[in-house]
Structure formats: C-alpha cells, structure tokens
C-alpha cells in the first residue's frame, strides 16, 4: 500500500497560528486560576459569633447582656500595629410586630469602640465616649468588646408589660471610619469585613 506523503516542513503562517492558540490557552488557564483564587478569598469573610444575648428590666431601664465571639484576623492586627485605629459598632434594635402595618421601631441604641495601639508602651487602648481603658494583649481587647454586661439600651417606659417584642443585636467593624486609603482597600478585600449577622430573639417584659 502506498504511504501518504508527509510534509517535510510546516508553513510559517501555520506555526504562528499554533503559537497564538497555545498562548491564548495559557492565558485562559491563568485567568481561570486567578478568578478561582479571588473567589476563594471573597468567600472567606470573617464572622463574629453571637453566643448569647438577653434583656431584662431593672430600675426602670431595659438592660442588655450579651456574649460575642470577637477575633481579630492577621490583617487587622497588623493594621493596629502600624498605627491604624479600628472602630467597632455595636447596634441594638427593639421593635414590635404589627399585622396591619410595618413593624414599630420601639428603641435603638449603638455604641462605638475605638481600638488603637501604642508602640511606645506596647499597650492597646479602647475608648467609647468619655470612657477609655488600656490592655496589654489583644485577647483582652476582644473579650472587653465582646462582653456586654447590663448595659442600658432604653427606658422601660417604651414597652408594655405582657407584649412580645423583637430584639436584634449586631457587632461590626465600621470601615467608614477608617482612613481613606484603607476604606478603598476594605472594598477590595474581605479581610476587612468583620461583622456578626443580626442576632434576633424575642423579649416579653
């Protein structure tokens, strides 16, 4: 049987086309890997756990007690070490359901914590309003912010005895109070997204 002729050489235009195809394939592989990496990073948002939360009435005030599992990631630790203050916002809401209209917002309260680090003394400082306290370790800072004990959030006069209310609590890093360059970075990196989901429970005075 006669063998088919095999070309002794490949035209230059064919070689160029093959090279372009191989290049496009490599670029596609790199792009897929990059997007996969970005997707994995975006899905790794840090969440603050809410272990417990409760309300009680004492001395005509509604008092909040809560336990939140706050943990700083490496990015936030490094930011503090480099002199960038971090702000955490604790938000509380109390509402009453109404079948005929939107829920009635009975009370709202928020507390802002400013966390900073002083390299000279190697201490952390947490300030809230006119109050400030220093700590030697970041673990102490996390426990201090995460433990809310008998904090007044509303007057008892805003609720009616025997009526069921819906309470909600959230703690989050307030990126809007970061320096401008870090605000831009926070939009591009989920490592700056540190927040709890809204923790909801019912309260009947």
Report CA dihedral (21, 27, 33, 38) to the nearest 10 degrees: -150
Determine the 3-state secondary structure of 21 from DSSP. Answer: helix
Q: Which residues contact 62 (CB under 8 A, 6 or more apart)?
A: 55, 56, 94, 107, 152, 153, 154, 155, 156, 158, 159, 205
| Residue found under tokens 């417990």 | 52
Q: What is the CATH number of domain 47-203?
A: 2.60.40
State pLDDT tens for residues 10-29. Answer: 444 444 444 454 444 433 33
| pLDDT value at residue 160 | 95
What is the residue extent of each domain of the chain? 11-43, 47-203
* DSSP state at residue 174: -
Pairwise CA distance, residues 139 & 158, whole Å: 37
Burial of 34 (0-12, 13-18, 19+ CB in 10 A): exposed
Report CA dihedral (53, 54, 59, 62) to the nearest 10 degrees: 80
Q: How many Cβ atoms are within 10 Å of 26's Cβ, its own excluded?
A: 10
State pLDDT tens for residues 22-80. Answer: 444 433 333 333 333 433 333 345 789 999 999 999 999 999 999 999 999 999 999 99
Q: Which residue has the higher pLDDT, 107 or 99?
A: 107
Pairwise CA distance, residues 167 & 150, whole Å: 15
Among 89, 136, 83, which residue's Cα sits nearest to residue 114?
89
pTM for this predicted structure:
0.74
State pLDDT tens for residues 170-198. Answer: 999 998 888 777 766 666 667 788 999 99
What's the mean pLDDT in 108-125? 97
């Amino acid at each position: 049987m006669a063998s088919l002729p095999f070309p002794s050489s490949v035209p230059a235009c064919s070689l160029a086309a093959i090279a372009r195809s191989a290049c496009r394939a490599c670029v596609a592989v790199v792009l897929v890997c990059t997007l996969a990496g970005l997707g994995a990073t975006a899905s790794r948002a840090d969440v603050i756990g809410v272990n417990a939360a409760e309300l009680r009435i004492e001395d005509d005030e509604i008092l909040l007690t809560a336990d939140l599992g706050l943990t700083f990631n490496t990015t936030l630790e490094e930011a503090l070490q480099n002199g960038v203050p971090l702000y955490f916002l604790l938000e509380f809401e109390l509402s009453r359901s109404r079948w005929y209209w939107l829920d009635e917002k009975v009370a709202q309260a928020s507390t802002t914590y400013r966390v900073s680090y002083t390299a000279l003394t190697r201490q952390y400082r947490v300030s809230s309003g006119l109050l400030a306290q220093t700590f030697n370790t970041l673990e102490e800072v996390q426990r201090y912010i995460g433990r809310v004990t008998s904090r007044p959030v509303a007057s008892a006069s805003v609720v009616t005895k025997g009526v069921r209310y819906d309470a909600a609590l959230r703690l989050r890093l307030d990126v809007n109070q970061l320096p401008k360059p870090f605000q831009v970075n926070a939009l591009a990196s989920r490592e700056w997204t540190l927040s709890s989901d809204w923790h909801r429970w019912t309260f009947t005075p």
